[in-house]
Amino acid sequence: MADLRTKLAGISSPNPFWLASAPPTNTGYQVQRAFEAGWGGAVWKTLGDPIINTSSRFAAVHFNGQRVAGFNNIELITDRPLEVNLKEIYETKKRFPNHAVVVSLMVEPKREKWHEIVKKVEAVGVDGLELNFGCPHGMAERGMGSASGQQPDLVEMQTMWAKEAAQTPVIVKLTPNITDITVVARHAVMGGADAISLINTINSLAGVDIHTWNTVPHVGGKGAHGGYCGPAVKPIALSMVAECAKDPKVSVPISGIGGISSWQDTVEFMLMGATNVQICTAAMHHGFRIVEEMIDGLNNYLDDKGIAAASDLVGQTVPKYSTWGELDLNYQVVARIDTETCINCNKCHIACEDTSHQCIDRLTDANGKAYLKVREEDCVGCNLCAIVCPVDGVIDMVEIQSRHAPMTWNDRQKALARMNSESSETEAV
């Protein structure tokens, strides 16, 4: 049994699976049920002045018959009075002293407001605070959430105000609705953040009902943008986590959020620099019990790999995440089709023929049996055929020996610059 415990900026948790600040963490009843189910921590749904919500609120994107490829919401922060939340936070922490209870906060960008709420919340005994600078709808119109999260100086200043009063670690939650997330991450760090969490939801409109022409979701025939999450956003979240993880100026731990729905996703985020993960959509889709499969899968993975602790995963892939300019232009792979296991659906052929480099031939063998073959000399190693192939393992991307030594774009530019300067020096002489 591997050690699944994690510690994010001093906040201990029995495992890396936290519930993100969202509908599942609205009440003490829910968070306590989650802890009973096995979740290691929870970020309490954002406290602030209680708001009024709309009906309806959620929408999802289904893909080819699969439910909830993506999830969209226009729900806002807590809809309950601060005192009620504080009482339930106190009770929850008392019942589950070893679980991480972090509370998400969002107030007007005023120093005294931050001081006031930080003190009140810490007084009931929490493990940490998360500043919500990410929510893209509803609160942003009031100058909060992503409205402040999109302004690096505001993030820095508010973080500082929170830190002035805080005794517990402060996590700053970042919005992805910005050109370069590392800028805001750096300002959070400058403001004194102990950790960052990302990503919050992405501006979205889940759909348009093609029969009523209403937006999805709609509130009495009118719609507004919401926040997008769920499996579809995972690659976006992962890249933003990676960008922060490899940025030396973002020198604080990361709590990874965005489309994580399995133990495999969790491993990916941890390898890419997340100390732990926060999950919402998967729980909303399947209930809290989904964490049992995540814990079990992660545990077996670590045991199979001979890794003693989940924390050993953190950041292992970060050094491999570079820039395009550092990629070896002479590295080459080609597709190889195993005709024994190929089922002859011809999907690779038509994908290559119509949309890539026309190098998969449809041939017939001596017995009249159809088969597919890659003309390796024309294959650029794009992976498309292997991607569309419906059977795992039929198409392998095989590395072939390059005739040239490794060279990156950056190497090439340097070499060219050297040649140019040498030749101009020659000319000068």
Partner 1 sequence: MNDPTVPTRLAPEAFAKSFAETVPGLTRKAAMEESNRCLYCYDAPCIKACPTSINIPSFIKRIATDNMKGSAIAIMDANPVGASCARVCPTEELCEGACVLNDESDPIKIGLLQRYATDWAVESGQTLFKAGSPNGRKVAVIGGGPAGLSAARELARDGFAVVIYEAKSLAGGLDTYGIVSFRLPQSISLWEVDQVRKLGVEIRTGVKVGVDVTTEELLADYDAVILAAGMGNVSNLGIEGEQLEGVYDAIEYVEATKTDVPPYPIVGARVAVIGAGNTAIDAATCSARLGASNVKMIYRRTMDEMTAYDFEYEFAKQEGVEFSWLTAPKRIIGDESGRVTHLECVRMELSDAVGQDGRRIPAQVESSEFLLPVDAVILAIGQKRHQSLIDHLGLKHDRGVVLIEEETRRTSNPRIYAAGDIVFGNGKGEAMVVSAAEQGKQAAYAVSRHYSSNSFQANDSVAI
Using N-to-C axis directions, what is the helix angle for 111-123 and 82-95, rounded to 10°? Answer: 40
Closer Cβ to partner 1, 99 or 349, answer by number: 349
Site map 347..386 versus partner 1, x via CB under 8 A = x-xx-----------x------------------------
- Is position 123 an interface residue for partner 1 (rule: CB under 8 A)? no
Interface stretch with partner 1, choices 4-12, 131-139, 261-269, 346-354 (CB under 8 A): 346-354
CB of 345 to partner 1, least distance (A): 4
CB of 214 to partner 1, least distance (A): 17
Closer Cβ to partner 1, 119 or 369, answer by number: 369
> Rounded to an integer, what distance in angstroms lies between the CA atom of residue 270 and that of residue 105?
25
Interface stretch with partner 1, choices 83-91, 235-243, 302-310, 344-352 (CB under 8 A): 344-352
CB of 370 to partner 1, least distance (A): 9
Closer Cβ to partner 1, 97 or 393, answer by number: 393
Angle at 272 between CA 186 and CA 148, to 5 degrees: 30
CB of 66 to partner 1, least distance (A): 8
Active site residue 135: yes
Burial class (CB within 10 angstroms; exposed 0-12, middle 13-18, buried 19+) of 23: middle
Alpha helices (H) along 272-389: 281-286, 290-305, 347-355, 384-388
Using N-to-C axis directions, what is the helix angle for 234-246 and 181-190, rounded to 10°? Answer: 50
Decide if 61 contacts 69 (C-beta within 8 A). Answer: yes
Closer Cβ to partner 1, 329 or 345, answer by number: 345
- Is position 343 an interface residue for partner 1 (rule: CB under 8 A)? yes
Beta bridge partners of 202: 228
- Is position 345 an interface residue for partner 1 (rule: CB under 8 A)? yes
Interface stretch with partner 1, choices 58-66, 84-92, 123-131, 234-242 (CB under 8 A): 58-66
Decide if 72 contacts 61 (C-beta within 8 A). Answer: yes
Q: What is the DSSP letter of 99?
A: S
Query: What are the Cα distances from residue 48, in Å, to 118, 140, 374?
Result: 11, 13, 60
Task: Single out the residue of 164, 175, 222 nearest to residue 198, CA to CA.
Answer: 175
- Is position 137 an interface residue for partner 1 (rule: CB under 8 A)? no
Which are the contacts of 418, defined by CB distance < 8 A and separation ≥ 6?
A: none
CB of 51 to partner 1, least distance (A): 37
Sign of the CA dihedral running 362, 364, 369, 371: negative
Interface stretch with partner 1, choices 33-41, 128-136, 307-315, 339-347 (CB under 8 A): 339-347
* Positions marked catalytic: 135
Contact set with partner 1 (CB under 8 A): 64-66, 343-347, 349-350, 362, 390-391
